[in-house]
Structure 1
Amino acid sequence: MNRFKAMLSLGLMLWLAGCANGAHRLPYDSWRLGFGTPNYMDVWIETADAVDVQNRVFRRAMDGIASTQRPKNLKRDPRGWPKEPGAGAGKQVLGADLPRLIYVRWQSLAEPQTYEAYIVIPEAARQAMVKGEKAFCLADAKWITDYRKMLTIGLAPGGIARVWLMGPCLSALDVARVQGTVVKQGPDGGRSGGRYALPLEPASKTYIEKHGIPYGSW
């Protein structure tokens, strides 16, 4: 009986250790989901849900304001995407295996309009997420083994979602471009009576009134 109890305890300890150390087999504790927009094109994210390769759903992996640059001198051109996008405003997706699908529903405050998109993460991108690469980090001037564990999504007027994969010290890889669809119920699933979460920031409002929205450039 004592031997049975010892084996049972050992099995439980190994199972708990596997959970604590990430039974999802990733070479890091978590990956990051971040969101940005073209300059002056403000966005409020109602929800971003992640589904990993084990079909586990991580609801509201991210919500709130997406990262946006809006200089008051109106000198930033919002057309197109940068070659090296930033990480965006985001959160770590704790306990998840590699991502299979990202669902995002957002309010494009620049228009205004509400969109949703289902973003399928291809197998090649998942393989890139677990491939360690030698990288030189300018922040501390050191060579390290880095991983592309940052998934960044750019959200643009017209319902465009653009996806990149990057590491803290590795360049961005272009993963996908998805055309979202209009949410007919409007903002907040129709529960807000058509009211959007936030007003446009003053600089964004001024830019759009002066220059308009460059649809088709994303």
Structure 2
Amino acid sequence: TGLDLPYVVSLRWQSMVEPQTYHALFTIPDWARAKMVERIPDQCPSGYHFDYREALTIGLAPGGVVKVWIMGPCLDPIEVLTLQAEIEPKGPYGGKSGGKYRPLSPVVKSYVDKYGVPYGSWWAPIPYTTVGL
């Protein structure tokens, strides 16, 4: 498309279950940017052809933990970085809600009440697959 790869990423999000609002600003390392433009022509078992790692995946976990991976079709994810976000002092909705968050759905509220917020847990992204293209 002619677009450059991201260099700096700024995120602001609300964790509804805590509830808390976070902000993170980070730079994509040069080695990861180089991996994304590295030509790796290959084919998925489905027959889909690809030439590059084409996805930057950002995971947000309870407590403001951020993980970033680069991914491509039928390739294992490569973890780029993990960082701790800062609490956003303005709170939800840029400070326009008076500090009030949307209520959790009954199903989510029931789960959180029973099991708590899963601080310290993490998942890895499922390898990127393309089927039927």
TM-score, structure 2 as length reference: 0.82
In structure 1, the residue matched to 2:28 is: 121
RMSD: 1.7
In structure 2, the residue matched to 1:161 is: 66
Letter aligned with residue 191 of structure 1: K
1:128 and 1:207 mapped to 2: Cα distance?
39
1:188 and 1:110 mapped to 2: Cα distance?
16
1:124 and 1:137 mapped to 2: Cα distance?
25
Q: 2:35 matched to 1:131? A: no
1:143 positional shift:
6.2
1:185 and 1:143 mapped to 2: Cα distance?
45
Number of equivalenced pairs: 122
1:134–1:143 CA contact under 8 A, matched in 2? no
TM-score, structure 1 as length reference: 0.52
Larger radius of gyration: 1
- Decide whether aligned partners of structure 1 residues 181 and 136 sit closer, same or farther in structure 2, where only a CA change above 3 A counts: same
Residues 1-218 of structure 1 mapped to structure 2, 5 A cutoff = 29=1, 96-138=3-45, 141-142=46-47, 144-196=49-101, 198-218=102-122
- Decide whether aligned partners of structure 1 residues 109 and 143 sit closer, same or farther in structure 2, where only a CA change above 3 A counts: closer
Letter aligned with residue 167 of structure 1: G
- Structure of greater relative contact order (alpha carbons < 8 Å, 6+ residues apart): 2
Letter aligned with residue 83 of structure 2: V
**Which runs of 5 or more residues in structure 1 are unaligned?**
1-28, 30-94
Letter aligned with residue 108 of structure 2: S
1:122 positional shift:
0.4
2:42 and 2:110 mapped to 1: Cα distance?
41
SS of the equivalent of 1:178 reads strand
Bigger share in strand: 1
1:146 positional shift:
2.8
Identity of aligned residues (%): 51
Instruction: Tell me which stretches of 4 or more aligned residues in structure 1 moved more than 3 Å.
Output: none
**Which runs of 5 or more residues in structure 2 are unaligned?**
123-133
Letter aligned with residue 80 of structure 2: V
Residue range with higher mean Cα deviation, 105-114 or 125-134: 125-134
Letter aligned with residue 61 of structure 2: A
In structure 2, the residue matched to 1:51 is: none
